A and B are shown apart, each in its own frame.
Chain A
Amino acid sequence: MKNLLIKNAVIVNRDGRQTGDLLVRDGLIEAIGEGLPAEGCEVIDARGAYLLPGLVDLHCHLRDPGYEYKEDIFSGTRAAAAGGFTSVLCMANTKPVNDCAAITRYIVEKAQAAGYCKVYPYGAVTKGLEGKELAEMGDMREAGAVAFSDDGAPVDNTRLMEAALLYAGRFDGYIAVHPEDRSLTADGVMNRGVTATVLGLPGISRAAEEGPIARDLILAEENRARVHICHISTAGCVDLIRSAKARGVRVTCETTPHYLTLDDTACEGYDVNAKVAPPLRTPADQEALIQGLLDGTIDAIATDHAPHHIDDKVGEFLTAAKGISGFETAFASCYTRLVKGGFLTLEQLVEKMCWNPARIANIPGGELKAGAIADMFLADGEDWTVDAQRFYSKGRNTPLDGKTLSGRVLMTFQDGRIVHQREEF
């Protein structure tokens, strides 16, 4: 394998940045410095662009096996690479469900064959996501699962949830929770608020999300177990987790680009692309989430990339599928809102999208230093217009179609190999 030298980049880590070159040998970072020798190397001139650790996504849906018409592992990991992601954790709600080692192995092997992005599957917590019996977590952990989640079909039974939290710990795994009290969600399709009332759409309360978080924090505390809370969307979630962390509860959490950048008025006109679970909330919630990122309550930003086929995302708002295709807009959304908006430095964004997620999942990546894997991407701060029809993902379901964002992913590297290159670069 030829060595790779990236010259004239602004190399950004969570703890600082330096201008210079980065040398890759055998898929690992060999050196970072100024004026590194180019002999025997493929040379890329970054022309002053940012070189960042590859993004690590704690939450996505690749839909494979079973729903390949929405996304498959090839299209999904290709889209991930286009978005600057080099490692992703995919949820278990496939068909069949990823609740046994054979399915876990299928996902890992197919992703390796695709070669665009490292894929670490979540195993199901319960067989068939039915919330009745624990799935074989130990077996799946050996096959490549890093953590366990029933995601959108959360474990309602509190006793079973307690058992899952304890059992996963034995295998150095953890439970990731999609907090939702489905009896409260009922037929709700968007945030409960004035916009829902005006549109005549049934709302989803904050309690539907915050209630289960309170339950699982108490369970984790009492059992000294580790828990990860997925895609929090409200100010109340931030408060609950902040106070739990202050008590020493072993909790980590994520939010998503869409909860940081969009609010429930995006549902106006019955735009089904703004339908997502949990629902888009309010500007006040966005402020609380940003505060949570700043004070360390929120550890990570994950995409919850949820691609859907156009047939599942057309027509009536009440029956349309929930979810947003997020890989290819995540970095730009966060760069625009958080970095350009003056809330976070690029270093802090690296911490939330690279370093912390890799540490939570206990996987390689998240930093650029000698000896680390050469998973990284080049980006700049230029404006571009989202065109969902040009997504690599099969899911074109985004409320950002046609919007102008700042922050372009120019090139993505997987173990030092180029896996994505933007046309204009």
Chain B
Amino acid sequence: MALKRKDLLGLRDITRGEIEEILKTAETMKKVVVGPNKKTSHLQGKSIVTLFYENSTRTRLSFELASKYMSAVAANIAASSSSVKKGETLIDTAQTIDSMGTDVIIMRHPMSGAPHIMAQHVRSSVINAGDGTNEHPTQGLLDMLTIQEKKGGFEGLKVAIVGDVVHSRVARSDVFGLTRMGARVVLAGPPTLLPAPGCELPGAEYAPTVEEAVEDADVVMALRIQLERQKKGLFPSVREYARFFEIDPKMLSLAKPDAFVMHPGPINRGVEISSYVANSDRSVINEQVTNGVAVRMALLYLLTRRDA
């Protein structure tokens, strides 16, 4: 098993077969994550660098543990402590790291498309760990692994994604991946936080209210709302946001009885998701985190085997 591609920059151009292969491998890797012995030799002798131009706790740690569980040599670069501050360009930084013998560069960047530019200039595989408002493909894949585990597949499922869709790289990757696998994705949120009319993301559906999106859904996903959006005039107050757009028990009661709730984290309790929902047995938020490590292990394994 191996992926033919050099990089994973997004789920926009990924095939159904590739998704299936990644998820299947991730199921195996998950046994390592939840098992007693967290050391395999899958990445023995491979060099993996995480290059993060944005703060992150969970995604970076998740990649770091995935690398270390599989015996890779792993190093982290936080952009604030690197030569980026000295004015080095993205491409120069990329080539410097690449010249140290890395096999995989995992990159997070506040600007859409930055990993795509980097990937053109390095020999190493590049994994996009989130670029601006574009994509977060490993989050998309871990969401898909979680849904597959709970529902056994994707065909015909209704997945509601609620909140700040327009700024969400998670929503974008989820829409691309889930629709490719045959799920219906219905988006809802304040109109100021959805793509403008005529600019909708192809493949997804749009509901005028959160209630309509959640109704009879199999999966309900709440997106993190960044509180700075209020200052930009995109919604009036946290109070009103919670009143109309929060996933609370009443909202969730509109979904199918066996529907479950997801959130990419970190969560704003009482804003986009109520604690009653987040703490309930309908929430799979912690399983998403576990699956994140498994998916990243699978991906690192498959990408580094491409020359094998």
Complex contacts, A192 vs chain B, CB 8 Å: 196, 199
Q: Is the CB of B199 within 8 A of A196?
A: yes
Instruction: Indicate if B117 sits at the interface (CB-CB under 8 A).
Output: yes
- Bound-state Cα–Cα, A329 to B114, Å: 29
Q: Are B172 and A200 in contact (CB under 8 A)?
A: yes
Provide the A174-204 mask, 1 if CB < 8 A to any CB of B, else 0: 0000000000000000001110111111110
With A194-B199, A270-B112, A316-B111 known as contacts, the answer to whether A200 contacts B117 (CB < 8 A) is no
- Per the bound structure, the CA–CA distance linking A270 and B117 in Å amounts to 8
Say yes or no: is B158 at the interface (Cβ < 8 Å to chain A): no
Instruction: Mark out the residues of chain B between 195 and 243 whose CB falls within 8 Å of any chain A CB in the assembled complex.
Output: 195-196, 198-202
Residues of A within 8 A of B116 (CB): 269-270
A199 to B131, CA, bound (A): 10
The stretch that binds A, out of B29-37, B132-140, B177-185, B278-286, is: B132-140
CA of A228 to CA of B160, assembled, Å: 49
Q: Please indicate which of the listed interface residues A192, A203, A270 has the most CB atoms of chain B within 10 Å of its own CB.
A: A270
Residue of B nearest to A318 (CB): B111
Write out the residue numbers on chain B whose beta carbons fall within 8 Å of the beta carbon of A315: 89-91, 114, 117
A158 within 8 A of B: no
> In the complex, are the beta carbons of B133 and A200 less than 8 A apart?
yes
Given A200-B135, A202-B133, verify A316-B196 contact (CB < 8 Å).
no
Q: Give which listed residue, B12, B91, B166, B169, contacts A198 with CB less than 8 A.
A: B12
In this complex, the member of A199, A203, A315, A316 whose beta carbon has the largest number of chain B beta carbons within 10 angstroms is: A316
Give complex CA distance A205, B196 in Å. Answer: 9
Q: Who on chain A is nearest to B114 by CB?
A: A316
B113 at interface (Cβ–Cβ under 8 A)? yes
Asked if A314 is at the interface of the complex by the 8 Å CB criterion, the answer is yes
Task: Name the residue of chain A whose CB is nearest to the CB of B89.
Answer: A315
Chain A: CB-nearest residue to B136: A200
The reply to whether B89 and A317 contact each other, CB–CB distance below 8 Å, is no
| Residues of B with C-beta under 8 A to A316 | 90, 109, 111, 113-114, 117
B112 surroundings in chain A (CB, below 8 A): 199-201, 270, 317-318
- A319 CB within 8 Å of chain B: yes
What is the bound-complex CA distance between A285 and B32, given in angstroms?
Answer: 55
**Is the CB–CB distance between A193 and B198 below 8 Å?**
yes
- Bound-state CA distance A186–B132 (Å) is 16
User: With A197-B199, A199-B113, A201-B113 given, is the CB distance from A314 to B134 under 8 Å?
Assistant: no
Task: Given A200-B131, A201-B112, A319-B111, answer yes or no on A314-B196 (Cβ-Cβ < 8 Å).
Answer: no
The answer to whether A270 touches B113, judged by C-beta atoms less than 8 angstroms apart, is: yes
Known: A200-B112, A270-B112, A315-B117. A193 touches B199 (CB 8 A): yes
* Interface pair A197/B195, CB less than 8 Å apart: yes
The total of chain A residues at the interface (CB under 8 A) is 21
Per-residue interface assignment for chain A, residues 246 to 281, with 1 indicating a CB less than 8 Å from any chain B CB and 0 otherwise: 000000000000000000000001100000000000
A235 to chain B, nearest CB (A): 13
- Kindly list chain B residues whose C-beta atoms are within 8 Å of the C-beta of A205: 196
Number of A-B contacts (CB under 8 A): 66
Q: Given A270-B117, A314-B91, A318-B132: A203 and B199 within 8 A (CB)? A: yes
- In the assembled complex, the CB of B129 is this many whole angstroms from the nearest CB of chain A, namely 14
Residue of A nearest to B112 (CB): A200
Contact pattern, B 1-33, Cβ under 8 Å of A = 1, otherwise 0: 000000000001000000000000000000000
Residues of B within 8 A of A270 (CB): 112-113, 116-117
In the complex, chain B residues whose CB is within 8 Å of the CB of A200? 112-113, 131-135, 169, 172
Report Cα–Cα, A311/B116, bound state, in Å. 18
Whole-angstrom distance between the alpha carbons of A425 and B111 in the complex?
Answer: 46
User: Which single residue of chain A is at the shortest CB-CB distance from B120?
Assistant: A269
B91 and chain A: residue at smallest CB distance: A315
Report Cα–Cα, A100/B89, bound state, in Å: 37
Q: For A197, what are the chain B residues with a Cβ–Cβ distance below 8 Å?
A: 166, 195, 199-201
Chain A min CB distance to B84 (Å): 12
A201–B166 CA distance with the chains assembled, in angstroms: 10
In A319-375, the 8 Å CB interface with B consists of 319
Q: Could you tell me the distance between the alpha carbons of A317 and B166 in the complex, rounded to whole angstroms?
A: 18
CA distance A315 to B84 in the complex (A): 13
Closest to A267 in B: B113
Chain A hits for B91, CB < 8 A? 314-315
Could you say which residues of chain A place their CB within 8 Å of the CB of B202? 194, 198
In the assembly, what is the distance between CA of A270 and CA of B132, in Å? Answer: 13
User: Which residues of A have CB within 8 Å of B172?
Assistant: 200
Which residues of B from 131 to 184 have beta carbons under 8 Å from A? 131-135, 166, 169, 172
B21 to chain A, nearest CB (A): 24
Shortest distance from the beta carbon of A201 to any chain B beta carbon, whole Å: 5
Residues of A within 8 A of B132 (CB): 200-201, 318
The closest CB in chain B to the CB of A270 belongs to B113
> Which chain A residues lie closer than 8 Å to B134 at the CB level?
199-201
User: Contact at A317–B111, with CB atoms within 8 Å?
Assistant: yes
Residues on the A chain within 8 Å of B117, using CB? 270, 315-316
CB distance from B168 to the nearest CB of A (A): 9
8 A Cβ contacts from B39-53 to A = none
Interface residues of A in 284-319 (CB under 8 A from B): 311, 314-319
CA distance A200 to B169 in the complex (A): 8
Q: Give Cα A194 to B12, complex, Å.
A: 13
Complex formed: what's the CA distance from A227 to B176 in Å? 47
Point out the residues of chain B lying under 8 angstroms from A193, CB to CB.
Answer: 198-199
**Neighbouring A residues of B166 by C-beta, 8 Å:** 197
In Å, the complex CA distance between A314 and B91 comes to 9
A residues adjacent to B (C-beta < 8 A): 192-194, 196-203, 205, 269-270, 311, 314-319
**What are 13 A-B contacts defined by CB distance under 8 Å?**
A194-B199, A197-B200, A200-B112, A200-B131, A200-B133, A201-B113, A201-B133, A202-B133, A205-B196, A315-B89, A315-B117, A316-B90, A317-B112
8 closest Cβ pairs, A-B complex = A200-B134, A270-B113, A200-B112, A316-B111, A200-B133, A318-B111, A197-B195, A315-B90
Chain B residues engaging chain A, CB cutoff 8 angstroms = 12, 89-91, 109, 111-114, 116-117, 131-135, 166, 169, 172, 195-196, 198-202
With A194-B202, A203-B196, A316-B109 given, name 7 new contacts (CB 8 A): A194-B199, A198-B202, A202-B133, A270-B112, A315-B89, A316-B90, A318-B132
